[in-house]
Amino acid sequence: MTKLGIAIDLERCVGCHTCANACKMQNNVPTGMLWNRVTTEGCDVIDGAVGTYPNLTRTFLPVACQHCENPACQRVCPTGATYKDEMGRVEIDYDKCIGCRMCMAACPYNARSFNWEEPVRDVDFNYGDAEVPVRPRGVAEKCTLCRERTDRGEEPMCVVCCPTHARIFGDLEDPASEVSKAVIEHKAHVLLEEQGTRPQVYYFD
Amino acid sequence: MELLTKNKLLTAVLAVLAVAGIAAYVFQLAGGLAVTGMSNGVSWGLYITMFMFFVGLSAGGLIVASSASVFHITRFKAVAMPAIILSTVCICLAGMFILIDLGGIQRIWRLFTGPNPTSPLIWDVCVITLYLVINVLYLVNMRRGNDRAVSIISRFALPCAILVHSVTAWIFGLQMAKEGWYSAIMAPIFVASAMDSGLALLLCVLAALKKARIFDTSRELMASLAGLLATCIAVDAFFIFCEVLTMAYPGAAGAETLALMTSGPTAPFFWFEIIGGLAIPFLVLVFAKNRERTGLVVGASVLVIAGVLCKRLWLLLTSFIVPNVEGAPGVLSDGGWALLGAYAPTLPEVLIVVGMPCLGALAFMVLGSKLLVPATEAEKVRIRGARRAALDGGFDPQTA
Encode B26-77 in three state secondary structure: HHHHHHCHHHCCCCCCCCCCHHHHHHHHHHHHHHHHHHHHHHHHHCCCHHHH
- Residue B382 pLDDT: 55
Which residue on chain A is closest to B119 by alpha carbon?
A: A76
Question: Greatest CA span in chain A, whole angstroms?
Answer: 53
Give the model's confidence band at B384: pLDDT under 50 very low, under 70 low, under 90 confident, else very high.
low
Which residues in chain B have their CB less than 8 angstroms from residue A190's CB? Answer: none
- Residue B205 pLDDT: 93
Q: Which residues contact B164 (CB under 8 A, 6 or more apart)?
A: B55, B58, B59, B91, B124, B127, B128, B131
- Residue B397 pLDDT: 44
pLDDT above 80 (res B327): no
Candidates B28, B108, B110, partner chain A, best to mutate (most A CBs within 10 A): B110
Cβ within 8 Å, pair A102-B105: no
A96 near A115, Cβ under 8 Å?
no
pLDDT above 80 (res B379): no
Which residues in chain B have their CB less than 8 angstroms from residue A64's CB? Answer: 329
Closest Cα in chain B, distance from residue A47 (Å): 11
pLDDT above 60 (res B394): no
For range B228-238, the mean pLDDT: 95
For range B233-251, the mean pLDDT: 93
Nearest residue to B356 (alpha-carbon basis) of B93, B132, B105: B93
Cβ within 8 Å, pair B332-A37: yes
Cβ within 8 Å, pair B331-A34: no
Give the model's confidence band at A61: pLDDT under 50 very low, under 70 low, under 90 confident, else very high.
very high
Assign residue A146 the CATH number of its domain.
3.30.70.20
Which residues in chain B have their CB less than 8 angstroms from residue A33's CB? Answer: 332
Cβ within 8 Å, pair B330-A78: no
Give the model's confidence band at A157: pLDDT under 50 very low, under 70 low, under 90 confident, else very high.
very high
Cβ within 8 Å, pair B39-A39: no
Which residues in chain A have their CB less than 8 angstroms from residue B125's CB? Answer: 78
> In b/e form, how buried is each residue of A30-54, taking b as 16+ CB within 10 angstroms?
bebbbbbbbbbeebeeeeebeeeee
Highest mean pLDDT among A89-98, B212-221, B364-373 belongs to A89-98
The Cα B278–Cα B122 span in angstroms is: 32
Cβ within 8 Å, pair B105-A98: yes
Provide the pairing of β-strand A4-9 with A201-204. parallel
Cβ within 8 Å, pair B324-A63: no
For range B48-64, the mean pLDDT: 90
The Cα A51–Cα A83 span in angstroms is: 42
The Cα B62–Cα B94 span in angstroms is: 15
A167 forms bridges with which residues in the sheet?
Answer: A8
Cβ within 8 Å, pair B325-A45: no
B230 near B286, Cβ under 8 Å?
yes
- 3-state SS assignment for residue B115: coil
CA-to-CA dists, residue B382 to B81, B139, B379, B386, B398, angstroms: 20, 15, 7, 6, 17
Which residues in chain A have their CB less than 8 angstroms from residue B324's CB? Answer: 108-110, 192, 195
Which residues in chain A have their CB less than 8 angstroms from residue B334's CB? Answer: 32
Closest Cα in chain A, distance from residue B321 (Å): 12
Q: Could you confirm whether domain B38-343 is CATH 1.20.1630.10?
A: yes
Which residues in chain B have their CB less than 8 angstroms from residue A39's CB? Answer: 325-328
The Cα B156–Cα B130 span in angstroms is: 10
- Residue B383 pLDDT: 52
A202 near A7, Cβ under 8 Å?
yes
> In b/e form, how buried is each residue of B310-336, taking b as 16+ CB within 10 angstroms?
bbbbbbbbbbbbbbbbbbbbbbbbeee
Which residue on chain A is closest to B331 by alpha carbon?
A: A110
A140 forms bridges with which residues in the sheet?
Answer: A114
Cβ within 8 Å, pair A79-B40: no
Assign residue A90 a region (left: φ > 0; alpha: ψ between -120 and 50; beta: otherwise).
Answer: beta
Give the model's confidence band at B378: pLDDT under 50 very low, under 70 low, under 90 confident, else very high.
low
For range A127-142, the mean pLDDT: 94
- 3-state SS assignment for residue B118: coil
Cβ within 8 Å, pair B324-A36: no
Residue bearing the bigger pLDDT, B400 or B197:
B197
Cβ within 8 Å, pair B332-A113: yes
How many structural domains compose chain A? 1
- Residue B60 pLDDT: 77
Which residues in chain A have their CB less than 8 angstroms from residue B103's CB? Answer: 98-101, 114-116, 137-139
Least confidently predicted of A6-15, B3-12, B200-209: B3-12
> In b/e form, how buried is each residue of B216-238, taking b as 16+ CB within 10 angstroms?
ebeeeebbebbebbbebbbbbbe
Domain holding A111, by residue range, is 4-204
Closest Cα in chain B, distance from residue A61 (Å): 10
The Cα B72–Cα B148 span in angstroms is: 13
- Residue A64 pLDDT: 95
- Residue B386 pLDDT: 52
Taking CA B314 as the corner, what is the angle to CA B308 and CA B316, rounded to the nearest 5 degrees? Answer: 100
DSSP B287-306: SHHHHT-HHHHHHHHHHHHH
Chain segment B134-149, per-residue pLDDT in tens: 999 999 998 888 888 9
pLDDT above 80 (res B353): yes
Average pLDDT, chain A: 93
- Residue B329 pLDDT: 74
How many beta carbons lie within 10 A of that of residue B362, not counting itself? 19
Q: Which residues contact A94 (CB under 8 A, 6 or more apart)?
A: A81, A133, A135, A136, A139, A141
Considering only the beta carbons, identify the residue of B32, B107, B331 that sits closest to A118: B32
For chain B, domain boundaries: 1-37+344-372, 38-343
Q: Which residues contact A123 (CB under 8 A, 6 or more apart)?
A: none
Does B251 lie at the interface with A, CB-CB under 8 angstroms?
no
Cβ within 8 Å, pair A78-B116: yes
Give the model's confidence band at B50: pLDDT under 50 very low, under 70 low, under 90 confident, else very high.
very high
- Residue B191 pLDDT: 93
B274 near B308, Cβ under 8 Å?
no
Considering only the beta carbons, identify the residue of B34, B175, B337 that sits closest to A106: B175
Average pLDDT, chain B: 88
B328 near B320, Cβ under 8 Å?
no
Cβ within 8 Å, pair B328-A195: no
- Residue B123 pLDDT: 95
The Cα B299–Cα A56 span in angstroms is: 57
Chain segment A1-31, per-residue pLDDT in tens: 899 999 999 999 999 999 999 999 999 999 8
Which residue on chain A is closest to B337 by alpha carbon?
A: A44
The Cα B225–Cα A108 span in angstroms is: 43
Residue A53's φ and ψ, nearest 5 degrees, are: -55, 135
The Cα B348–Cα B355 span in angstroms is: 10
For range B122-126, the mean pLDDT: 94
Which residue on chain A is closest to B340 by alpha carbon?
A: A44
DSSP A113-177: EE--SS---SSSS--S-TTSPPP-TT-EE---SSHHHHHTTPPPHHHHH-TT--EEEEETT-TTS
The Cα B133–Cα B114 span in angstroms is: 23
Which residue on chain B is closest to A135 by alpha carbon?
A: B104
Candidates A68, A84, A110, partner chain B, best to mutate (most B CBs within 10 A): A110
Q: Which residues contact B211 (CB under 8 A, 6 or more apart)?
A: none
